[in-house]
Amino acid sequence: MSKIKYFLFLLCLCLCQKVSIAEEQSSNWLNKKLLKLEVLSNEDQNSPIATNNQVVSSIALGELVEEKINLPYYYWSWSKTEDLTSKIEQLKSTTNPITRELIIAVLTSEMPINLMEPKEAKLYVTRLNKLLEFGQYNEAQNFINNHDSELKFSFNQQYTLNIIRGNDTLACSQLKIKKNLDITLKQKIYCLIYEKKFAEAQIIFETGKLFETISNDDKNIIEILLSYDTSENIEINNFKNKLEVIDYIILRKKQIVIPLNDTPTPLMFYDLSQALSHDKKLNLLEELNKRGIILNNKLFPIYLENSPSSNIETEKRKKCIVELEMSIEIYDSKLVRKNLTKCLTLFEKIGLSYSFSENYQESALVEVKNGWETPTSIKMRLLTKEYSKLFGNFNASSNFQSAQSIARNEFIKLNNISRLEQNIVDAFRQPNLDKEYSKKIDQGKIGEVIISSIINLTDTNLNQNQKGLMGLIQAGLEDTAKDIAINYLLTRK
C-alpha cells in the first residue's frame, strides 16, 4: 500500500513539474510575443502613415549615419550642468567626419538627465536641439524615446522630427493629444491645412492676429500656407530671420524653390524625400554625404543607375564608378589601381575623398598587400585610419607630407610647409600643455576640455585650431586628434 502511495506521489510530482515547465514555456513564449508586438508597434509609430493629401514620403532613420565614438559618464560627472549647457550651445557643425563623430559622441553621452531638475532639463533640451541642428535624426529620436517618451519637454522637437520625415499624420495627431501650451500658431494652422480644414484655419489666423503677437515673418509664412495661388514670385530674402524647419517645409509644399546654398542641412534631408530628377537627387546625396548625414551605401549605388547626367563633371564621376565596379567585379588588378587613382582625383574636387576612400577601402588594401604603394593608396589609407605601416614617402604636396609625418610621428624631413600646416603639425611635434585645460582635467572635468577643444577646432583662427588639437591630446584623445588633423590636411581645398 505504501508503495502505491509513493508511486502516486511521484506521478503527481512529475505531472506538476510538466505543468510548471509548460507554464514557464508558455509564459516565455507570451513574453516574446508581447515583446515582438511592442517592437512592431514602435516601428509603426516611426513608419509613414499613408494619406491622400501627403506630398512627402517618409524617410527611414536607417538611412542616416550613426556615430561610433563613446565617451564615459565620468567625463561629465564633475562638471556643473549649466557650464556644460553653455559650452554645448557654442558647438558648430563641421564637415570633418572625425570631428563630427566627436561632436555627436558629446551630445549623446551619458550626462546627467533628470528632467525634474530645471538645469538638467535645460541641458537635455540643448543637446536635443543640437542633434536636430546637425541633422542627427536617428540619435535625436532615440534621445527622445529614452528620456522623454511622454514629450513633456520634447514636443516641439518631436513635431519637427515628424514633419521633416514626412509623417504629418503623427505630428498632427500628437498635437491634438498633447494640448501643449507651447504649441505655436503656425503648428496649429499647418495641421488644420493638412486636415483640409481651411475655414477653421483662416478663422484661427484672423483671431491670432487680433489677440496674439505675431512676427512679420510668421505672418508672411502663414499667409503663404493659407493662399491657394502661389504663382506670384516670393523672395526668400523678404524673411529677415532664419527660416525654421516648418517655414521651409511650408515653402517647399507651395512649390517655392529655395537655393541650395541657403538650405540648412536638415532641410536638404526633407528635400530628398521629394520626387526629384536624377541630377538633383545625386547633388543632394553628395552634399548630405559630405556633411556626414547620409551613409555611403545610400550615395554610391546611385552612380550606377542607368540615368545619364546633364552635368559633365557628375557624368565623369558616374562613369568612373561604373568602370571601377566592373574592374573589381572581374578583378583586373591593373584596372582597379588605375580606376582608384582616377576616381579619387574626381571625388577630391567635390570634397568627397573621405567618403570615396571609406567606400573602397577594402579594394585599396587588397592592392596594397600586393605591393601597390602610391600617393593614391597612401591617401586612402590615411583618410580611413589604416596607416599603421606606411612604406613609401611620396612628396605629392606639402599637406600630403604633413599628413604622413603626423601619421608616422616623424617630423625630421618636414620642410617648406605653410603656416597653416605648421600650426597643425606643431600640435604633435611640439605639444604645449594648456594650464586652463590641465586645471579642468585635474578637477575631473575632462568633458568640458573636449567640448572646448571642439569649439577651437571649428574656429577660423589657426592658433585656436592648434589649441583644439592639443586639448584633445591632453584629454587622452591623441588618436582622435591625429585622425582629425590628417583628414583636415588631406581634404582642405
Question: pLDDT at position 27, please?
Answer: 38
Mean model confidence pLDDT for the chain: 80
Across 193-197, 271-275, 339-343, the highest mean pLDDT is recorded for: 339-343
pLDDT per residue over 445-478, tens digit each? 999 999 999 999 988 887 888 899 999 999 989 9
Question: Does residue 336 register a pLDDT over 60?
Answer: yes
Query: Would you give the DSSP letter of residue 91?
Result: -
pLDDT band at 392 (very low <50, low <70, confident <90, very high): low
Question: pLDDT at position 91, please?
Answer: 94
pLDDT per residue over 62-105, tens digit each? 555 555 677 888 889 899 999 999 999 999 988 888 898 899 99
d(CA 13, CA 4): 14
Question: Does residue 435 register a pLDDT over 60?
Answer: yes
Residue 163 · residue 245 · CB < 8 Å: yes
pTM above 0.75, yes or no: yes
**Cα dihedral 154, 155, 156, 158 in deg (nearest 10):** 80
11-25, 64-78, 206-220, 449-463, range with the lowest pLDDT:
11-25
Question: Does residue 419 register a pLDDT over 50?
Answer: yes
Cell match 506521478: residue?
A: 11
Question: Does residue 36 register a pLDDT over 90?
Answer: no
Question: Does residue 24 register a pLDDT over 50?
Answer: no
Q: What are phi and psi of 319, to 5 degrees?
A: -65, -40
90-94, 237-241, 252-256, range with the lowest pLDDT:
237-241
Question: Does residue 16 register a pLDDT over 80?
Answer: no
Residue 139 · residue 108 · CB < 8 Å: yes
